[in-house]
Structures are given as C-alpha cells and as structure tokens.
Structure 1
C-alpha cells in the first residue's frame, strides 16, 4: 500500500504534488489580477517552460512528480467524488437558486478532464452558453456580461504548498485566508477523499478545519514540519493564532507531535508566509531574510486534558526556541551579506524560499545570485531554475511544491 507521510522539512523528498500553470494564468488581466492575488501578469508559455524545468530538476534528484490537474481529473472520474465536489461548490448563496440546476446539469455531463479544466481554469457565461446551459431561470445569469466568470480561475493553484500540507501522518486541507483561494480547498478535499491511489494510502489523519471557518485560517507556506515531533508555524497575514491552536490540538490529541512553535510575523504582503523569509535547508540550518530580525515566538505543548500549555518567548529568544523544539543546542541561520536594498530585492524574488530535497540539497530561483552563492559557500548544494515568470505570483520553489512523502531526520 502506498505511503503518504511527511516527517520533516529536509529528509529525502520522495513524492510531491505540483501544478503546471495553464488556462487559469491566461485569464489574469490588469483589472482582475489584484482580486486574484497576483502582482503582475505572467507570460504563460514561458511560465510553463520554467515549471517544466522545475519538475525535471526534481525528477533528476529522485523525486516522483504528481500533477494536480491530473489527480483531480482521475478523482472526478468517480461518480461519488464528482457528486461530493459539486455539492460543496454549487452553493445557492453564491450562484443564486435559479443557477443551481443548469450548472449541475452542465458540470455533471462533461468529461472528468473538462470538469477539472473548468474547476481550475475557470468558466465564463459565454463558455457555459456554448455548452448549452439554459439561463432563462436565473436572474444572476441574465444580468451577467458574457465574459463574466461563473467559475473564477484559480491561478494560485500554482502554489500547491498552501492549500494542503502534510504534517507527519496526516494532511491539512487548509482554511484559506482570501476568498480567491477557497475553492482550491474543495479540489484538494475531494482528491484526498476519493482519488484511487491517494485516498487508499496507508491510513492517514485529517488535520485542519472546514473550508473557511471563522478566524481559524492556516496556509501551508507558514507550516514547517521541523522533524523529531516538532512543527513551526508562522502567524502571518494568512495564518491566524486560532488556526495554529487548532492544528496543535489535533496533532497532540493523536500523538503526532509534541511541540508546535508559533512565530509572530509582520502582517504584510512581503512576508505573507513564513517561507518567504525562512526555509530549512538541513537538520539545523535555515535561510533567513536580513530584514526579518528577531520575532516573538510561542511554544505550544499538550496541557491537561484538551488544554494547551503556551510558553511565550521574547524576540531575542527566537533562535533558542527553534533549537529547543528541534532538541538541539543551536540553529544556524544563513543570511547573505549584502545591502538591505539588495536583500529586499532578493527576498521579494523568493531568495529565502528554497525547496530542500534532502539535507543540504536545495532548489532555488537562479535570479537570486547572492543568496545562492552564499548558500554554496556554506556547504549547501544549490540547483537553480528559471523563475522570471513563475515568480510573478510571489512564490518560490517551496511554495510551488506540496510534499506528500518525505523521510524523517
């Protein structure tokens, strides 16, 4: 039986989910890019070339690559899975009562590949009409322009780390912070429940909450499986303390982890996730953005019954708290010596956001020359990929990868 388990950030990576960008990126325009959480409009064909290079680099390092759209299509071939997803998706409060039946008929009748394409790439009113959708019963349909989206595209599916993340023996399908990403969670939820291979992996737990539960949000870019029973989570623009508490309680209840360390990040676009400013590269070393400084941190441990024990650490104790969570004397932080302006440029271009394939071996964007050279000077093997177009959505190699099988340290 296949295994799905992530025991660390840096143990040998064996299987990973990627999403090769497609139609959803081509749907980005100057007028919708902000709503869809992109700073710029990527050149789609070049982004695909860069992503293929990323996937091939991982394969060359012994990693099996699975593609999200293929997994979704394989899942939607199962009638029960399609019914489950459409029941979540077709909410009367979102589409209006008159649209539910026409959309149900359309999305139930197309092939699994077509449906996966709609769910990721989007569907306009004009395209729905081409598929024979009857709009006469829907006021919402009647008032829409022909190029308006019935299903918005999901360009952030490129960043497979965020929407679902494996933590030891379970997976969290995350409650996303912004509405532009909530439907991503529906796709992953259906895959992990019904995919003919992933759903029958050696039994795994389900962490996290529902799809958008109050203030308890969490995204995988903030979640670092340190190993040895420890997890580090950034409390950021997108991950709330409530979300950290929820995951910690679930992990402790199942004996999956013994410590969760929360790091209080500035709430800003530049530091949207912990992995935009720190990534683990071996069992005691982390990249670290020069402008991050030292931050307040909080150790969560099991308390009495279902209670949590929370220990606050002053900012200057941040590195000590990480070392304590890992059960080691100290951690090494790798910050390239350069001007603050240069450091900010490389951080914006995901210089700290590297994907570790095994201890001391990482994949990084080639454009961050100073950061990459510094890592190599400090014993880290760096495999570079192009990222001029992929990086326009503010995400690096770690963001673009969802490990589903990785060894402990």
Structure 2
C-alpha cells in the first residue's frame, strides 16, 4: 500500500478493541509498544564482523533473550501491550505479493551478486512466513543457499552472509518513531541498518493495524540517504514539540528535512535541534538525556553542560526559522511547551558517572509520568532518580547493554495516553 498522498488526511480507527496509534509525549501512560526479541541475527555476530555490525562485544544470545523477555514482562505487568516486529511482519508477508516485493527489494545484485540472486530469493520464498521473517532479520549464509555459480559464492566460506543479518533490529526506537497520529521512518546513517527501516515500512504500510495511518516522513523506498536521522535522536517532549539530536548518525540536513515535513503536515510547531558531540558515548540524544516526568529530564551533565541548541520553527508561508537558544534544559522546556523544566543530574564521581553513562544509565523508558524502566546495573543513577521522586522498575542487564542501548533504545512506543488524562 502506497503512503498516503496527503499527511493531513483523516486518521482511521484501528481494529476493534485497540486504540489508534498516537504519541504526543515521552511520558504519557504507555499503552502499546513495539519490540523485537533478539534472535538468529545476534548469533551471526563474530569477532571478525562485530565492528561492521556496530557491536563492541559479543552477546550471550540465550541470556540476552531472557533479559529481553524480562523487559517485556515488566512492561506487560505495568499494563502495556507488547507487540513484536517479527510477529507483525510474519502476518504481513503471509500475503505472497507482499512477500515477493520485500524479498526482491532486499535480495538484489548488490547484496549477494547477480549469480546468487535467484537462488537466495527462491530459498526465502519457499519458506513459511515466520521462517521468511527469520531470514530477513537473521540473514542468509552461503551454506544455507548451497553451491552454485558466481564469484561471490566461489570466494566465500560457508558461514559468510549473502544477505546480511540485522542484529541492531533489537533497537526498535531507531528505525521508526510515532509522532502524533503518524509515524516517521528513519533514513539510517549506517548502511548495515538501512534494511531495518524497510521492514518497518512494510509493516506500517500493509498491516491492518497501521496501514491507514500516515507516514509523515520516509514512506518512499530509496537506496540513497545523504540526509540522515535516527529515532534515538528524536524525543517527543511535548504535544507540539520535539527535541532532535544532531549526532554522529543524525545530520543537520536530516533534522531540517524532518522538521520541514512535520511543519508542513501540521504535526508539531517547535523543534529543538541539539548539537551533540560526535562520539560513540553520545551516539544518540537519548544516551545522554531522557524525559522521566512531565517537567523532568535526567541528563549527563559532563556532556549536556556545553551543548549548543537551536530553536527551529516554521515561517508563515513556508520555510523555517532558526535561532540559537541559551541553556539546554531551558530549550527542552521551550520545546515541551513548559514554563520551566528540572534537570536530574547524577552527581557521581567522574569514573562512576562515565561507567554508568556507558551502560545507558540515562536511557530510561517512561511508562507514565514519574515512572520509568531502567537497567538494574546502574545502581547509583537509579537511586538518584528515586531520590528525585521517580519510580524505577529495573530489568536484568548483564548482556543487553553490550549492544550499547537501554530500555528506551529497545522500544518504539506506538500509543500513549495524552497528558492530563
């Protein structure tokens, strides 16, 4: 199903018994969230390819799955409906036409070489939907396809990938983000992650739960993304406002393109663009700041104290206006439509602060105002949050943090209650 021509079109109701997607804050009561349980794709990470796949360490897969299951259980216990990307995608590719279209987009001359294309496509299309999805996310090896002509298979070992795995798919926040009653799809910065976005595009375009809801940005299929942004840099801080990080993975051109599209669609009217250090430890905005209450943000002051930020607003008649703002937290308050905001700044010793920030201490997921999910290993930061009046639900965190992402990174909110309800 093609993206809607006009993002101003009426948003349809979802299936009976479910609420329509809507996200107008970071902290409104979370009702529905989209996760991906790590699987075969994480087993494909090896010491020789982990840099290419954006991992710093190897994960103990079975333990990572248990931790992820615990995450989902905590969310379910707090009244959140948990959806899984892999299950939704399997429902969609049960339609043979959709399955063929996806496979033809993902398996091309450029992914596995001209001689192997048809063999890889045949392998995928001859499987049942769940197995097809496992391959689309987990990849396809030379051994799985079997011998055949072509240079690629001639020089590749049996475990080498003809279709690359997507181990970062566990971080569902990055590839898409719901803003208002529609969704934006991320033109990802790293080549190894771009197929993730197309899989989400397939779900949102074809699954009956989402297909009638607008795609504000990224509805088209394209191979070239000179202007990029990723969902970890997008914070829906208020009903009409966003904070967007300009990081090593989100470019100023990407922020400007996104802001313009959202302004044109009438979705938001305030965007705070935050110039982040271009370093691994500040990969996305949500690694150094997340919202934990209506007026409160947890920040990493070592980095946030010196950030430059810019107020981006629409000009009457078209275009945008940009003005530098003084004070990062004051800028967050402006974007959120608040008179003021408070920063919860962990006053830890430099070594402990750096250790906990590296383990995503600030990457919390709010499930309602003043209630968050966080990694249990970040003991000091969690205590500081609780001292500030925030209720912290912790989840096991031996293996999942090795992927460099916390509870917020691993979740894509689909429906939150409006604040004040």
How does the TM-score come out when normalised to structure 1?
0.94
Partner residue in 2 for 1:375? 385
User: Which stretches of structure 1, 4 residues or longer, exceed 3 Å deviation after superposition?
Assistant: 208-214
**1:144 aligned to 2:156?**
yes
Please tell me whether residue 278 in structure 1 is matched to residue 278 in structure 2. no
> In the TM superposition, what is the alpha-carbon distance from 1:83 to its structure 2 partner?
2.4
Give CA-to-partner distance per residue, 1:26-59, whole Å, 9 cap, x none: 1111111111111111111111111111000000
Post-superposition shift, 1:123? 1.2
| C-alpha distance in 1 between matches for 2:24 and 2:239 | 8
- 2 CA distance for matches of 1:83 and 1:261? 41
**C-alpha contact 1:170 1:206 (8 A) present in aligned 2:** yes
Return the offset for 1:145.
1.9
The 2-side partners of 1:37 and 1:349 are apart by: 16
In the alignment, is residue 225 of structure 1 matched against residue 236 of structure 2? yes
Counterpart-to-counterpart distance in 1, 2:68 and 2:111:
33
Q: Which runs of 5+ in 2 are unaligned?
A: 1-12, 15-19
Q: Deviations over 1:288-330 (max 9, x none)?
A: 013112311111111143311111224xx22222222222221
**Superposition TM-score, scaled by structure 2 size:** 0.92
CA contact (8 A) 1:47 1:390 kept: yes
Range that drifts further, 84-93 or 110-119: 84-93
Alpha-carbon displacement from aligned partner over 1:264-288 (angstroms, at most 9, x marks no partner): 0000110000000000011110010
Q: 2:395 is matched with which residue? A: 385
Deviation at 1:333, TM superposition (A): 0.6
Shift of 1:338: 1.3
Does the 8 Å contact 1:349/1:391 carry over to 2? yes
Partner of 2:338, secondary structure, is coil
Distance across 2 between alignment mates of 1:376 and 1:354? 13
Question: Could you tell me which of 128, 135, 143 is aligned with 1:126?
Answer: 143
Mapped to 2, the partners of 1:395 and 1:101 lie a distance apart of 36
Structure 1 stretches of 5 or more lacking a match?
none
**Which of residues 158, 161, 166 is equivalent to 2:178?**
166
Aligned residues: 400
Match of 1:179 among 191, 206, 228: 191
Compute the RMSD of aligned alpha carbons. 1.5
Contact 2:241 2:270 in 1 (8 A): yes
Whether 1:16 aligns to 2:38 is: no
1:103 aligns with 2:103: no
> 1:211 offset after TM fit, Å?
4.8
Give the aligned partner of residue 4 of structure 2.
none
Residue among 324, 335, 343 paired with 2:334: 324
| Residue 97 (structure 2) aligned to one of 80, 83, 86 | 80
CA positional deviation for 1:9: 0.4
- Is the 2:91–2:207 contact (alpha carbons within 8 Å) kept by the matching residues of 1? yes
Report what 1:135 is aligned to.
148
**What CA distance in whole angstroms lies between the structure 2 residues aligned with 1:243 and 1:148?**
33
Alignment check: 8 A CA contact 1:177 1:212 kept = no
In the alignment, is residue 91 of structure 1 matched against residue 108 of structure 2? yes
**Are 1:351 and 2:361 counterparts?**
yes
Does the 8 Å CA contact 1:13/1:358 hold for their aligned counterparts? yes
1:86 and 1:98 map into 2 onto residues whose CA distance is 16
Match of 2:130 in 1: 113
Q: How far apart in 1 are the matches of 2:389 and 2:223?
A: 42
Provide the secondary structure at the position in 2 that maps to 1:127: helix
Q: Distance in 1 between matches of 2:309 and 2:377?
A: 32
**Equivalent residue, structure 2, for 1:58:** 75
Paired residues of 1:185 and 1:211 also in contact (CA < 8 A) = no
SS at match of 2:116: helix
Q: Which residue of 237, 255, 267 corresponds with 1:256?
A: 267
The residue correspondences of 1:164-313 to structure 2 (distance < 5 A) are 164-200=176-212, 203-208=213-218, 210-211=221-222, 213-292=224-303, 293-313=305-325
Contact 1:278 1:288 in 2 (8 A): yes
- Equivalent residue of 1:8, what SS? coil
C-alpha distance in 2, partners of 1:308/1:80?
41
